Chain A
Amino acid sequence: GAVVSQHPSRVICKSGTSVKIECRSLDFQATTMFWYRQFPKQSLMLMATSNEGSKATYEQGVEKDKFLINHASLTLSTLTVTSAHPEDSSFYICSASQPIKSSTDTQYFGPGTRLTVL
């Protein structure tokens, strides 16, 4: 199946700094990528939908100025957590789907990035 990678897998940063997380589709072109956040023992919550070459669509309650998303190419999307605070500590997961607009299109998930803000 298709492979999606994330980098880094773990990151620890100080409060107030910014952290960039990369999501790459390794063997297919992804016109759409999704960013999710998962707190311990909770389900994945969608943060934003990212379409290549256009602005991301953020879910209600997600601050677009705090979570900057860039999807500059068909294989790369980045999520930057700006001015991170301890409450931003979470597991961030991206997914990517191929350019097939169908409700049966498969999304391939990355392995996730564990962010810890001290």
Chain B
Amino acid sequence: KNQVEQSPQSLIILEGKNCTLQCNYTVSPFSNLRWYKQDTGRGPVSLTIMTFSENTKSNGRYTATLDADTKQSSLHITASQLSDSASYICVPRTLDTGRRALTFGSGTRLQVQP
């Protein structure tokens, strides 16, 4: 069964600090992994997408890493801002293009305090 585990479940940091969110998955066969940001009461917004051949990808202050061998990914946020307060969701996908719906993990709820 495809599973996704994210840690920590929640995190509080001070504005300006860095943080790293973790994702372990058991999706197989693996195709790609996305990180989404979901603000409270809003739909998810894609931050990064990485295929199995990519180790790292950045999007502004967001940097995602991927280790397809250990099936781990991380999302690093640098110089956090208050607007970074949101849930961050890791979404791995299989090669099965017949199923295009996404399976979401429970996410990490990040709160950035002034």
A and B co-occur in one complex: yes
Question: Count of chain B residues with Cβ under 8 Å from any Cβ of A?
Answer: 25
Residues of A within 8 A of B102 (CB): 34, 44, 46, 95, 107
Q: A72 to B44, alpha carbons, bound, how many Å?
A: 25
User: Interface size class for chain A?
Assistant: 20 to 34
* Residues in B60-110 with C-beta less than 8 Å from chain A: 89, 93-97, 100-107, 109
Known interface pairs A43-B105, A43-B107, A44-B104; A106-B46 also in contact (CB < 8 Å): yes
Give the secondary structure class of B's interface: loop
Residues in A with CB closer than 8 Å to B101 are 34, 46, 49
Q: Indicate if A78 sits at the interface (CB-CB under 8 A).
A: no
Closest to B102 in A: A107
Whole-angstrom distance from the CB of B72 to the nearest CB of chain A?
A: 19
| CB pair B41 A91 closer than 8 Å | yes
List chain A residues, Cβ under 8 A from B32: 103-104
Query: Per a CB cutoff under 8 Å, which of A4, A42, A95, A110 touches B106?
Result: A42
